[in-house]
């Protein structure tokens, strides 16, 4: 572990990024690349918890926009995160990393149910532990689930690996002139209404002094650099 800065981290992986070059679902090359990038830290004994989004399959808000009941759509979204979690587990295990999936919605046949103390035990034993089905409640997101689980398990940092390389003063996907921050405070993210992460997740991290790092999942070697403690992307801090 000597080369790695962190002992226990929570990685929030973008669901949408799992699509890779596909229009929908999962491009197997993406989980494979993530697995290869995490392997050195896993082998070094780092405790790695994961939350994956569901945007590559279904988002409750899109369902609601098309007239669907919001809570029903959100339940579908949470199930989408279970599919992604199982896909990641399969890939991690094929790459020699022991992995457990713990779901916030009970589904005994496919995964364990989330129990905080058992999750911590899995991590202590060096198993990658994936938290599926978000918080188990509609009207939330997997960013909030990631913030919640990071606090619950005592992670040192929440790393959001997504499609942008950091936090900008406006959405860089929409504004090519947007400027990137190296560091930013939680209050600035909230007051400037920056949507890289939802406000509930940011507020939870703020209240619990949970540092957040946002970086681009596509960049080669980025996970290892981040886990070694290199400043990549944008870091959200108290002040
Ligand atoms: N100020 C901002 N700085 C950076 N990204 C921003 C900003 N405002 C909006 N975004 C958008 O936030 C997105 C990342 O957050 P979002 O939660 O939507 O993605 P995700 O983690 O990939 O989601 P999912 O897991 O649901 O697929 C980026 O792709 C970017 O377009
Ligand atoms: O706690 C949660 C987490 C997620 N959802 C629903 O799942 C989808 C997919 O999650 P993303 O964070 O958007 O990737 C989300 O849109 C919600 O519909 C939820 O209801 N509760």
For position 47, which CATH number holds?
3.40.1160.10
DSSP string, 106-166: --TTTSEEP-HHHHHHHHHTT-EEEEESTTSSTT--HHHHHHHHHHHHT-SEEEEEESSSS
172 in contact with ligand 1, CB cutoff 6 A: yes
Residue 1 lies in a domain: no
The pLDDT assigned to 239 comes to 83
218 in contact with ligand 1, CB cutoff 6 A: no
**CA-closest residue to ligand 2 atom 16:** 59
Residue 2 lies in a domain: no
The pLDDT assigned to 17 comes to 94
Place of tokens 């994961």: 50
12 annotated ligand-binding residue? yes
CA–centroid distance, residue 44 to ligand 2 (Å): 32
CA–centroid distance, residue 109 to ligand 1 (Å): 33
Predicted confidence (pLDDT) per residue in 104-128, tens digit = 999 999 999 999 999 999 999 999 9
Residue 3 lies in a domain: no
Q: Is the pTM of this model over 0.90?
A: yes
Sheet harboring 234-237: ordered strands across? 112-113, 99-103, 128-132, 47-52, 8-13, 157-162, 212-216, 234-237, 183-185
185 annotated ligand-binding residue? no
> Cα separation of 117 and 233, whole Å?
32
The pLDDT assigned to 2 comes to 65
**Reported confidence tier of residue 3, pLDDT bands at 50, 70, 90:** confident
Residue 220 lies in a domain: yes
Contact in structure between 153 and 123 (CB atoms under 8 Å)? yes
Mean pLDDT of 136-150: 98
**CA-closest residue to ligand 1 atom 29:** 163
CA–centroid distance, residue 83 to ligand 1 (Å): 21
Tally of structural domains, the chain = 1
Q: Which of 61, 85, 86 is nearest to 73 (CA)?
A: 61
**CA-closest residue to ligand 1 atom 12:** 196
Residue 103's Cβ-side half-sphere holds a number of Cα atoms within 13 Å equal to: 20
Residue 141 has pLDDT above 70, yes or no: yes
Residue 40 lies in a domain: yes
> Cα separation of 42 and 35, whole Å?
10
Q: Which residues span the domain enclosing 140? A: 8-237
């Amino acid at each position: 572990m000597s080369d790695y800065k962190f002992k226990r981290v929570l990685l929030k992986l973008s669901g949408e990024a799992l699509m890779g070059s596909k229009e929908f679902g999962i491009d197997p090359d993406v989980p494979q690349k993530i697995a290869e990038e995490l392997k050195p830290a896993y082998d070094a004994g780092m405790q790695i918890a994961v939350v994956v989004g569901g945007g590559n399959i279904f988002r409750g808000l899109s369902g609601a926009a098309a007239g669907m009941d919001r809570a029903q759509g959100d339940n579908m979204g949470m199930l989408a995160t279970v599919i992604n979690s199982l896909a990641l587990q399969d890939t991690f295990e094929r790459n020699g990393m022991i992995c457990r999936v713990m779901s916030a919605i009970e589904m005994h046949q496919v995964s364990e149910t989330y129990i905080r103390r058992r999750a911590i035990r899995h991590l202590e034993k060096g198993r990658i532990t994936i938290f599926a089905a978000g918080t188990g409640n509609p009207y939330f997101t997997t960013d909030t689930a990631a913030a919640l689980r990071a606090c619950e398990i005592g992670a040192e940092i929440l790393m959001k690996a997504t499609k942008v390389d950091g936090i900008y003063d406006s959405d860089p996907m929409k504004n090519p002139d947007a400027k990137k921050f190296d560091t930013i405070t939680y209050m600035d993210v909230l007051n400037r209404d920056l949507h890289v992460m939802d406000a509930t997740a940011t507020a939870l991290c703020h209240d619990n002094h949970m540092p957040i790092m946002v970086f681009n999942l596509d960049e080669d070697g980025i996970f290892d650099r981040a886990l070694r403690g290199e400043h990549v992307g944008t870091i959200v801090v108290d002040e």
